[in-house]
Amino acid sequence: MKVTIYTDGAARGNPHGPGGYGTVLQFVDAAGTLHERELSAGYKKTTNNRMELMAAIVGLEALNRPCQVDLYSDSKYLTDAFNQHWIDGWKRRGWKKADKKPVKNVRLWQRLLAAMEPHQVIFHWVKGHDGHPENERCDRLATAAADGSCLLEDDLDES
């Protein structure tokens, strides 16, 4: 099954202001019918990078069977971690970057890796705020969630 996931994260007053993520999942069935699902949530205090990761995580966790996934994000932090193989080095070095400093958001990276496990995922970077319809849609979802009144707590103290 082939699924396309579009993601975006937002944070007001980054770092440590309110933030949110937006995710759109798309699947075309055998009859050619497009099925879509939107996911979003807002957090009281977070960072843009955490929201970019959460957008990808919730999209992948929403899948209920192994899929071929094309995941689109305007976050180089997310896409380069896989396309430039940074994550392989981080894991090999015990979640340390090349400069020996600790990788931030380790638990989210680990959750993302677990969510990816049953799937074949290809990460695609798209330029943000450049008129890409699904990226703009995800941005609207993320910013609306960040500006919402039912904000969740984020564990900013995690390593």
* Residue 157 annotated in active site: no
Known binding residue 139? Answer is: yes
Instruction: Indicate which residue of 20, 22, 42, 74 is catalytic.
Output: 74
Catalytic site includes residue 70: no
Query: Is residue 74 a known part of a binding site?
Result: yes
The answer to whether the annotation marks 136 as part of a ligand binding site is: no
Active-site position among 8, 22, 59, 154: 8
Q: Annotated catalytic, 29?
A: no
Please indicate whether residue 99 is annotated as part of the active site: no
Contact predicate 81/106, CB 8 Å: no
Q: Which residues are annotated as a binding site?
A: 8, 52, 74, 139
Q: Which residues are annotated as a binding site for Mg(2+)?
A: 8, 52, 74, 139
Residues known to be catalytic: 8-9, 52, 74, 129, 139
